[in-house]
Amino acid sequence: MTQDHVVALRVVAQSDLIVTVPSRVAILFEQTLPIRILRPPLEIPGVVVQQLWHPRADTDKAHAWLRGLMREICAGLKSAAPDQSEPEGG
C-alpha cells in the first residue's frame, strides 16, 4: 500500500468518483471509509515484481539476506491474496 492509495480512497469516499486500487488495500479501508468494492468491468492483469541489483552486490551477505527476505515476503503475499470472488458486480 502506498500513501497514494490512501489519499485516492479518501478522495473517492467524499465524492462520486471511482478509483482502481489493489483489492487488498480496498478491503483494509472498506470498514473505515464509506466505499463500496466492485469488480472491474474488465480483467486487470497482475503486477510483476522483480528485484534488480548491481552484480557487485551478488556476493554481499547482507544484500543476499535482504533479497531472500524480500523473496519470502512477496511469496507470502501472493499466497495470501484475497479471494477475487468477494467484490460485488461484474
Query: pLDDT truncated to tens, each residue of the chain (90 aa)?
Result: 667 999 999 999 999 999 999 888 999 999 999 999 999 999 988 778 889 999 999 999 999 999 999 999 888 876 555 554 445 554
Longest C-alpha distance within the chain, in Å?
52
Burial class (CB in 10 A: 0-12, 13-18, 19+), 87: middle
Distance from C-alpha of 34 to C-alpha of 31, rounded to nearest angstrom: 8
Quick check: is 87 in a domain? Answer: no
Domain limits for position 23: 3-79
Instruction: Please give the grid coordinates belonging to residue 73.
Output: 515476503
Closest CA to 84 of 48, 37, 28, 49: 37
CB of 26 within 8 A of CB of 37?
Answer: yes
The residue behind cell 527476505 is: 69
Q: How many domains would you assign to the chain?
A: 1
Quick check: is 90 in a domain? Answer: no
Distance from C-alpha of 44 to C-alpha of 50, rounded to nearest angstrom: 19
To the question of pTM greater than 0.85 for the whole model, the response is no
Quick check: is 57 in a domain? Answer: yes
